[in-house]
Amino acid sequence: MVVQSKVRPNLPVSKLIEAFGTELEFSRELAPLTSFETGGPARYFLVARSIDNVVRAVRSAGAMAIPVFVMGGGSNLLVSDDGFDGIVIKLEINGLRLVDKDLVEVGGGERLIDLVNFVSEHSLSGLEFAAGIWGSVGGAIFGNAGAFGGEVGQVLDEAVLIDCQGNVRTENATYFQFGYRHTRLKETREIVASATFRLTPGKKPQIEKRVDDILARRAESHPDRRTAGCFFRNIPDSTQEHGKLPAGRLLEEVGAKELCVGGAKVYDKHANIIVNTGRATSKDIRQLADMLKKRVLDRFGIELQEEVQQLGSFH
């Protein structure tokens, strides 16, 4: 969630601590918290481990006119090299529990891969497609994460949300208006505090085999660090498998794998993946992404849409 407004200059530290609590951090580096491992610091930073923590932080930020960004696992995020002139709230509301034979409740800050492992252990099917997807459950719902023909929106039952004013309520799956890598949360900027998934009881060996197969397929084409995974969305096309034309196929045809900018390069096994070779800046990654978009637009007349979120100012 980002609330656009100007930060009041020189806010007294004592007032900030009073508003946000003693766990508030200043000038916290964000690069180690993102899968790209790039970007500058957040002016203010707070880890929120409960709904009450989030509500207090959101309301305090609103009262003090401080821009807010809520992050989960940082796996789909490109942070400006200049950082973020506001408060980053890192959501760490965790917990996993079986509510009924086919219902699982999970905190919005829980890792998606831990949810997949939990439901597999309890012989529940429906989330195998998410095996190996980095990031948090809240972030996965926010962007309707998916792979191999499956999407989070297909199995969500309901979720507890916190809005920009700090109000808390529960909404069922229809509220989210799930689309391809999209939900209405991208407009409302609401935060997923927790969620309940309705799954299908199955046979554990078959579920685990499906998970293992997907993990093996991912390992063949995805790097294991310094990347956000696929940078661009696939293109809706009913004639293609799963109804999508892979952006990677178009990028392959325009010679994407030959390209690099500074320390950022296109992964040699997947043309829709940008990697940080270890010395990239966020500006390098941004410029390489723009180069890729231009090549596809010039060749095919298709403007690629990004999956990765940006935080801060890019010049």
Task: Give the model's pLDDT for residue 232.
Answer: 97
Q: CA 171, CA 196: separation in Å to the nearest integer?
A: 11
Write the CA distances from 102 to 120, 141, 149, integer angstroms. 12, 19, 21
Task: Give the model's pLDDT for residue 21.
Answer: 95
Beta strand 103-107 pairing with 96-100: antiparallel
pLDDT of 246 > 80? The answer is yes
Q: Is domain 13-91 given the CATH code 3.40.190.10 in the classification? A: no
Enumerate the β-bridge partners of residue 46.
89
Q: CB of 160 within 8 A of CB of 105?
A: no
Task: Give the model's pLDDT for residue 9.
Answer: 56
Q: How confident is the model at residue 4 (pLDDT cuts 50, 70, 90)?
A: very low
Mean pLDDT of the residues in the chain: 95
Token representation of residue 244: 């999508």
Helix (H, G, I), strand (E, B) or coil at 50: coil
Q: Which residues are catalytic?
A: 181, 230, 307
Question: Tell me: the pLDDT tens digits for 136-184?
Answer: 999 999 999 999 989 999 999 999 999 999 999 999 999 999 999 999 9
Query: pTM, whole model, 2 decimals?
Result: 0.92
pLDDT of 55 > 60? The answer is yes
59-96 b/e (C-beta count within 10 Å ≥ 16 → b) = ebbeebebbbbbbbbbbbbbbbbebbbbbbbbbbbbeb
Helix intervals (H) in the chain: 13-20, 51-63, 112-121, 137-142, 185-188, 204-221, 247-253, 282-300
Residue 192: phi and psi, rounded to 5, are -90, 110
Write the CA distances from 35 to 72, 199, 250, integer angstroms. 11, 29, 25
Q: Is domain 96-205 given the CATH code 3.30.465.10 in the classification? A: yes
The H or E element containing residue 96 is: strand 96-100
In order, the DSSP letters of 132-168 are T--SBHHHHHHTT-EETTEEGGGTEEEEEEE-TTS-E
Question: Tell me: the pLDDT tens digits for 7-39?
Answer: 445 789 999 999 999 999 999 999 999 999 999
pLDDT of 204 > 50? The answer is yes
- Going from N- to C-terminal start, the domains of the chain cover 13-91, 96-205, 224-311
Q: CB of 41 within 8 A of CB of 29?
A: yes
| The listed CATH number (3.40.462.20, 3.90.1150.10, 3.90.78.10, 2.60.40.10) that belongs to domain 224-311 | 3.90.78.10
Token representation of residue 83: 């950082």
Question: Tell me: the pLDDT tens digits for 208-230?
Answer: 999 999 999 999 989 989 999 99
- CB count within 10 Å of CB 279 equals 10
First-to-final CA distance of the chain: 22
